[in-house]
Amino acid sequence: METAYLKTPLGVAKIMGDEKGIAVISIADEGEISSIIPVILEEAVNQLNDYFDGKRIDFTFQLNPSGTEFQQKVWKGLLEIPFGKTMSYLELSKKLGDVKAIRAVASANGKNPLWIVVPCHRVIGTDGSLTGYAGGLWRKKWLLEHENPTTQQSLF
């Protein structure tokens, strides 16, 4: 498993993967930035840079997260939330076929190993509130604003 550390506007992203795909993307407040990016991780690093530069709304590199069958199902559901849109935990539970699984869905969402790429930041509370985010609510708010910036209307 190869590892690279990438500076982002939200901290240092740790990217881990191999020939089967990217297994982990996580965020930390600080850390050593990689001066050399392993070839196997170059596409993921390039696409993440494009995302932060506002040039990319989806990711096309191979994913290989490790999780239970249920977690994999939830993460696949997250991949279907469009860029710039949000969905509540309740809506996601309904979409996955079991409204009563809301807590399990929220738990799987919180264990998502692929920060940004599997967009768990797009899941909000039923009342529209920013709820639970492993990277901190300030990062969730930043990501949602990055994906759906409000434009200032001219007064004149």
Active-site annotation holds for 120: yes
Phi/psi at 69 (5° precision): -60, -40
Q: Could you tell me the two tokens for 77?
A: 């559901």
Q: Could you tell me the two tokens for 1?
A: 């498993």
Active-site residue identified among 120, 124, 143, 144: 120
Task: Name 108's Cβ contacts closer than 8 Å, sequence gap at least 6.
Answer: 67, 68, 70, 71, 73, 74, 75
Catalytic amino acids? 120
